[in-house]
Each structure stands twice: as structure tokens, then as C-alpha cells.
Amino acid sequence: MQPSAAAPDSPATPSYDERLTAPRSWWAITALAALSGGLVLLPLGPVAMLAGLIGVGALAAAAVSSYGSARVRVVAGSLVAGDARIPVEALGEAEVLDTDEARAWRSYKADPRAFMLLRGYVPTAVRVAVTDPDDPTPYAYVSTRHPQALVDALDAARA
């Protein structure tokens, strides 16, 4: 899924919009979990097997869908990452993190006070300094498949 990069027509039109969906392999695991739920209940009969298949499948699909529904947007002068909404005025320099740097900032370079919209299946990220003196958060780490496009959208929103 490509982020939208169109110029905003109004303040409510996102200049960047990306959904961090779960990888296909997770959906295959969901199907296998559903099959396992059905097989466990097979000795109780076909109705129980069908109930197990549907029930476990629905629960697993809801979990994968919920985790994979995070959105990253730059809209109305704010960076919206998951549930967080940070005004661009409170943000400093944005840094594109390649695969190795993103891994480092997810692990040994990480600050426990930082805001992190972290998805391990997304290899690249953006780290944005938080410059608001009233906010103890030093930076925001945002997983994204298109880090340069996100940095460009943040720069455009500041201008």
C-alpha cells in the first residue's frame, strides 16, 4: 500500500496516510489456528468441529486485524501515529532509519520514555524529536514502510 502523497485540499485531508497491516504469513497462521480449533473438537462431532473452526478462526482473525490496523498519518498539522496525535509544532528534526538503524532504535538505543509505534514486521522507521518542553517524551519512533515520504510530509506540514 503506497502512502498518499497528494497535496491537501483542506486541513483535514492527509498529506501522508499509511496503514501498517499484518503480513500475509500471519493470516496463514490464523487459518492454521482455525483448523486446529476445529480438529481439537472433531471427536465431539461435526457441529462442535465447525463451531471450533469458526470460533477460533474469528478470535485469531480479530487479534491479527486489531494489531495490524495501526495507521500513520500527517493530517491537519499533526502527526497521527496509532492513538497518538502530536502537533508538528511540537516536533523537531525527523530522521529516516534504515533497517539496521531501526533495529538499533528498537533495542539498545531505545529510551523508555519515547513514544513508539512499533511493528516488528516493518523493517524501516522514522525517529522524530519531540521539542515540546512540557512533554517528557524525547522522541517518537514510528514504523513505516515509506520513511522518506513520511519525513517529506512532516517537513511540508511544518512549512
Q: Per residue in 28-52, pLDDT tens? A: 999 999 999 999 999 999 999 999 9
- Maximum alpha-carbon separation in the chain: 65
- Pick from 67, 87, 102: which residue ends a domain? 67
Question: Which sign, positive or negative, has the C-alpha torsion 151, 157, 158, 159?
Answer: positive
Single pTM value for the model? 0.79
Asked if the structure places residue 87 within a domain, the reply is yes
| Shared domain check, 93 and 48 | no
Are 128 and 95 in contact by the 8 Å Cβ rule? The answer is yes
Number of domain units in the chain? 2
Q: What is the mean pLDDT of the chain?
A: 89
